[in-house]
């Protein structure tokens, strides 16, 4: 019961953080590795997808209801993310977790680049100033969604944070709109991954469903807070979370 309480608390915190700036998987996956020692990677990932889907569903619903972005702008990226996630899950089963030693250092480098860019460009993401025409913007959004959907199905942690960064840096969105689109894309990749993992029985039902309750509540509260606080607040949280993720990943690498 103590282990389950720990996992539910981790899921709540992850849901709140993930709804605002992404990165919830970097909280829940290490927690699941502690709580479910010895489980194969697909089981850890499948259990995590049940949890993540709950939080992203509540968060995405809040953003869609707020009409920060038109739902029509989300349809293409959502479909692209599902396709990418399906390919990523297939590769995850094929590699059976052997890619982890290579992805962790790559993630640290990517997070450092994201943090440095955000700090050096203090005005980025404060105003919604798309850099491209609508057709070009939609095409780039599809490419980003497919690529990160693939990564999410394959590995997962940090997907939401990377999506927000790319939507701000590449497309010129403000942080709030970037967070709204990122959450919809992340929801889609989570759903596609979840269906495939569950079809193979790769999950622990009691743990997954208990954590899902905490994650859903955290996602709901996180999205409402982001909508009330606005883009500037989301930017500060983004900087704080990415900094923490860099330290977390770096420490894990040093421990090996």
Evaluate whether 50 touches 194 at the Cβ level (below 8 Å). Answer: yes
Q: What is the pLDDT of residues 58-111, one digit of tens each?
A: 888 888 888 888 878 889 999 999 999 999 999 888 876 566 567 667 767 877
Q: Which residue's entry shows tokens 């770096």?
A: 250
CA distances from 192 to 81, 95, 186 (A): 8, 19, 10
pTM: 0.79
Helices (H), 121-230: 134-154, 159-169, 175-199, 205-229
Q: What is the average per-residue pLDDT within 198-207? A: 93
Q: Which two tokens stand for residue 59?
A: 């968060």
> 184: closest CA among 197, 173, 169?
173
CA-to-CA distance for 135 and 171, rounded, in angstroms? 12
Residue 127 is classified by DSSP as S
Structural domain harbouring 105: 2-255
Q: Which two tokens stand for residue 166?
A: 């790319």
> 178: closest CA among 124, 133, 221?
124
Evaluate whether 178 touches 168 at the Cβ level (below 8 Å). Answer: yes
CA-to-CA distance for 165 and 170, rounded, in angstroms? 8
The alpha carbon dihedral of 48, 53, 56, 62 has a sign of: negative
Q: What percent of the chain has pLDDT over 70?
A: 94
**What mean pLDDT value characterizes the chain?**
86
Q: Torsion angle of alpha carbons 97, 102, 104, 108, nearest 10°?
A: -160
CA-to-CA distance for 38 and 253, rounded, in angstroms? 19
CA-to-CA distance for 26 and 13, rounded, in angstroms? 11
> 178: closest CA among 159, 193, 153, 160?
160
pLDDT of residue 66: 85
CA-to-CA distance for 54 and 220, rounded, in angstroms? 10
CA-to-CA distance for 221 and 145, rounded, in angstroms? 25
Name, in order, each residue with C-beta under 8 angstroms of 103's C-beta and a sequence gap of 6 or more: 155
Q: Which two tokens stand for residue 172?
A: 């010129």
Residue 127: band (very low, low, confident or very high) from pLDDT cuts 50, 70, 90: low
Residue 156 is classified by DSSP as -
| Total structural domains within the chain | 1
**Does the pLDDT value for residue 125 go beyond 60?**
no
């Amino acid at each position: 019961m103590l282990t389950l309480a720990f996992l539910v608390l981790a899921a709540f915190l992850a849901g709140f953080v993930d709804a605002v700036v992404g990165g919830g998987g970097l909280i829940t996956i290490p927690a699941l590795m502690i709580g479910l020692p010895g489980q194969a990677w697909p089981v850890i990932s499948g259990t995590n997808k049940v949890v993540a889907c709950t939080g992203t569903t509540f968060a995405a619903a809040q953003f869609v209801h707020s009409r920060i972005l038109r739902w029509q702008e989300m349809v293409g990226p959502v479909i692209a993310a599902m396709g990418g996630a399906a390919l990523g899950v297939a590769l995850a089963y094929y590699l059976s977790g052997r890619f982890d030693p290579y992805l962790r250092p790559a993630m640290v480098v990517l997070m450092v680049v994201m943090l440095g860019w955000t700090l050096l460009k203090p005005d980025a993401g404060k105003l919604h100033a798309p850099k491209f025409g609508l057709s070009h913007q939609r095409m780039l959004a599809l490419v980003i969604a497919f690529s990160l959907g693939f990564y999410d199905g394959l590995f997962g942690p940090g997907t939401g944070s990377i999506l927000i960064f790319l939507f701000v840096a590449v497309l010129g969105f403000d942080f709030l709109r970037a967070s709204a689109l990122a959450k919809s894309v992340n929801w889609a990749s989570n759903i596609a991954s979840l269906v495939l993992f569950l079809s193979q029985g790769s999950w622990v039902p009691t743990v997954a469903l208990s954590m899902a309750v905490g994650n859903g509540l955290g996602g709901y509260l996180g999205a409402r807070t982001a909508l009330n606080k606005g883009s500037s607040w989301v930017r500060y949280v983004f900087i704080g979370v990415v900094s923490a993720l860099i330290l977390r990943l770096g420490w894990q690498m040093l421990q090996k």
